[in-house]
């Protein structure tokens, strides 16, 4: 069992790494980290002595005063090295640096100098160190106006604001899920490396990305249509966009019923992407689900009976309740990294239609069980 601690555990990349490590409970034990540890040497010392691996992600990348960025980032490195030295900890340290290392800015300099200080510590103490040069990262739950222009665009479009392109350059990107896989690979290798450049997975002009996001807003947010997703980048971008929606107030979405003397006709889903459609019947009082996905796009449509659909983002406690009734057919879509279930709350059988964007694969189900 490898014990892993993550500074910046609550940050964008930190929470994704923390949650993904949780998918391997027999291989990794997660050591909790809190921001105030950096202000309490005793807690920081206790933290590092509890770890086999420390992933140092905590950093500042934006501030009105550039000197604050530089001083903060190097200060965090020095505090961590001090704790490691005092406790004589034998750990593998992974340090997230940036492709901005070679640029003439304070953030890039703070990262490069921080990496060099860790190299010196590792050599003098015979510890393992891995320095990761990371390209621009995007994905769900990034902070707008801070982590990524994609997070900013998604936030603005989901809140009926119009994004503005300052420079329409070609940007090298990596999806946060792919970055986390690379980090876990280095953890598993148990081999240090002063400098590893993480390759970008995608490269697009800013205008192309904005055009895709605007399509997602028009088709999905306004009309409920699952857009055409031509490659894995577009799937990741769409899932990123969905996480910036006002989920509480958007769902459930009622279907349009076309009623005539024969009965009613309801169009369940319009999509420009494939997948699998299924339906279930559920007897009163029974709950289905209590699992989450990290990449799949899924829709629950209630067409008969009464149901309670519940969602909870992994790592949080707030539960979102959506009550649906087949007399007014409606649907709820499942965001990634949200555990979800559906319960028959009525007195008759519940009829539900399910759509998911990929076939079920027993070797790679992307289905992780956790009670809402």
CATH label of the domain that carries residue 53: 3.40.50.720
pLDDT digit string, tens, across residues 126-178: 999 999 999 999 999 999 999 999 999 999 999 999 999 999 999 999 999 99
Exposed / middle / buried, residue 362 (Cβ in 10 Å: 0-12, 13-18, 19+): exposed
Domain endpoint, select from 134, 161, 191: 134
CB of 51 closer than 8 Å to CB of 13: no
Q: Is residue 254 part of a domain?
A: yes
For residue 115, pLDDT over 90 is answered with: yes
CB of 48 closer than 8 Å to CB of 80: yes
Q: Is residue 221 part of a domain?
A: no
For residue 261, the domain's CATH number is 2.60.120.10
Q: Which domain holds residue 281?
A: 248-369
Exposed / middle / buried, residue 72 (Cβ in 10 Å: 0-12, 13-18, 19+): middle
Domain endpoint, select from 109, 134, 159: 134
For residue 104, pLDDT over 80 is answered with: no
Q: Is residue 160 part of a domain?
A: no
Q: Please state, as a whole number, how many other Cβ atoms lie within 10 Å of the Cβ of residue 120.
A: 11
Domain endpoint, select from 134, 167, 188: 134
- How far are the Cα atoms of 12, 108, 179, 203 from residue 171, in angstroms, in the given order? 19, 17, 16, 5
> Residue 36 has what DSSP assignment?
G
Q: At what angle do helices 149-158 and 232-242 cross, to 10 degrees?
A: 50
For residue 248, pLDDT over 80 is answered with: yes
For residue 299, pLDDT over 80 is answered with: yes
Q: Please state, as a whole number, how many other Cβ atoms lie within 10 Å of the Cβ of residue 206.
A: 18
For residue 120, pLDDT over 90 is answered with: yes
Q: Is residue 166 part of a domain?
A: no
> What is the distance between the alpha carbons of residues 372 and 358, in angstroms, rounded to a whole number?
23
Q: What is the pLDDT of residue 66?
A: 82
Q: What pTM, to 2 d.p., does this model score?
A: 0.93
| DSSP characters over 183-233 | HHHHHHHT--EEEEEPPPSEEEEHHHHHHHHHHHIIIIIHH-PBPP--SHH
Q: What total number of domains does the chain contain?
A: 2
Comparing CA positions, the residue from 288, 267, 269 lying closest to residue 355 is 269
Mean pLDDT of 270-293: 94
Q: Is residue 156 part of a domain?
A: no
**Rounded mean pLDDT of the chain?**
95
pLDDT digit string, tens, across residues 38-95: 999 999 999 999 999 999 999 988 888 888 999 999 999 999 999 999 999 999 999 9
Task: Give the phi and the psi of residue 303 in degrees, each rounded to 5.
Answer: -115, -15
Q: Are strands 2-7 and 53-56 parallel, antiparallel or unpaired?
A: parallel
Q: What is the pLDDT of residue 129?
A: 97
């Amino acid at each position: 069992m490898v014990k892993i601690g993550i500074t910046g555990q609550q940050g964008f990349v930190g929470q994704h790494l923390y949650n993904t490590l949780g998918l391997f409970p027999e291989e990794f034990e997660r050591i909790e980290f809190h921001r105030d540890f950096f202000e309490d040497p005793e807690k920081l010392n206790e933290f590092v002595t509890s770890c086999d691996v420390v992933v140092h992600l905590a950093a500042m990348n934006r501030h009105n005063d550039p000197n604050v960025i530089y001083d903060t980032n190097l200060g965090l490195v020095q505090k961590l090295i001090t704790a490691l030295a005092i406790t004589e900890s034998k750990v593998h340290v992974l340090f997230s640096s940036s492709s901005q290392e070679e640029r003439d800015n304070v953030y890039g300099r703070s990262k490069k100098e921080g990496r060099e200080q860790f190299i010196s510590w590792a050599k003098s103490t015979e510890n393992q160190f891995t320095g990761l040069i990371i390209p621009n990262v995007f994905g769900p739950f990034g902070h707008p106006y801070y982590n990524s222009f994609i997070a900013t665009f998604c936030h603005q479009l989901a809140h009926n604001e119009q994004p503005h392109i300052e420079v329409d350059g070609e940007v090298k990107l990596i999806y946060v899920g792919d970055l986390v896989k690379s980090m876990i690979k280095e953890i598993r290798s148990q081999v240090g490396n002063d400098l590893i450049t993480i390759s970008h997975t995608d490269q697009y002009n800013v205008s192309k990305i904005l055009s895709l996001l605007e399509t997602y807003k028009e088709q999905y947010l306004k009309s409920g249509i699952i857009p055409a997703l031509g490659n894995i980048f577009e799937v990741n971008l769409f899932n990123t966009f969905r996480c910036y929606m006002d989920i509480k107030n958007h769902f459930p979405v009622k279907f349009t019923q076309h009623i005539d003397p024969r009965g009613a006709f309801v169009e369940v889903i319009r999509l420009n992407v494939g997948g699998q459609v299924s339906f279930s019947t559920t007897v009163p009082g029974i709950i289905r689900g209590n699992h989450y996905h990290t990449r799949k796009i899924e829709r629950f449509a209630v067409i008969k009976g009464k149901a309670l659909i519940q969602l909870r983002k992994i790592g949080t406690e707030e539960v979102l309740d959506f009550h649906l009734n087949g007399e007014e057919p409606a649907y709820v879509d499942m965001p990634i990294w949200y555990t979800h279930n559906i319960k028959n709350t009525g007195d008759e059988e519940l009829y539900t239609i399910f759509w998911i964007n990929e076939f079920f694969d027993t070797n790679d189900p992307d289905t992780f069980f956790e009670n809402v």
